[in-house]
Amino acid sequence: MKVKTSIANSTTDEPVSIPQKEYTMKLNNFLMALRKAVDPKKIELVWVETGRKFDRVVLYTPNSEVAKTKFFVIKIHNGDFGLGKHFSMGEIYGARSDCLPHTLWYFGTLDTVNLWNWAPDFPEPLSENVYVVARKKYKQFVQYIPTKEMETLMKVKLLKK
């Protein structure tokens, strides 16, 4: 399997800020975890398309011959984007379509990537993941929401900045 990544500001001469460097490193770790977890027969390419508010994680399956957005990662610190929910940088959401995140399909943050099993079509938290709890089940998909521990962790990170 090949991995193609895009790094923000890599084509300009502008200096990259420290939070952006951290974010890029964590995003690359997420891509590597995805690459290790998925079956190479199902997924051939994994890459990121950078955006202003979100970064889209795109997977290419050779059978469908179409690249499909699987995850969205929040790229900016604060905002609601008109979706009626407050977001924090590094949160991972499932994709409703190629252009729209599904804000109820929550898959933790870039800091908790190692606490998820990314191999199934619908990622599952590992047993030691105390940062999410199951909320609802739709057929084969389980909807997870952050626990109070995760909310506290995110507030502490925001206060440090």
Enumerate the domain spans of the chain: 2-118+129-160
Tens-digit pLDDT profile for residues 42-98: 777 788 888 888 899 988 877 777 788 889 998 865 555 555 556 677 889 999 888
pTM of the model: 0.76
Per-chain mean pLDDT for the chain: 76
Ranking 27-31, 92-96, 155-159 by mean pLDDT, the lowest is 155-159
Look up tokens 């929040």; give the residue: 74
- Tokens representing 49 are 């398309």
In sequence order, which ranges of 4-161 are alpha helices (DSSP H)? 18-37, 148-160
Cβ neighbours of residue 12 closer than 8 Å, sequence gap 6 or more: none
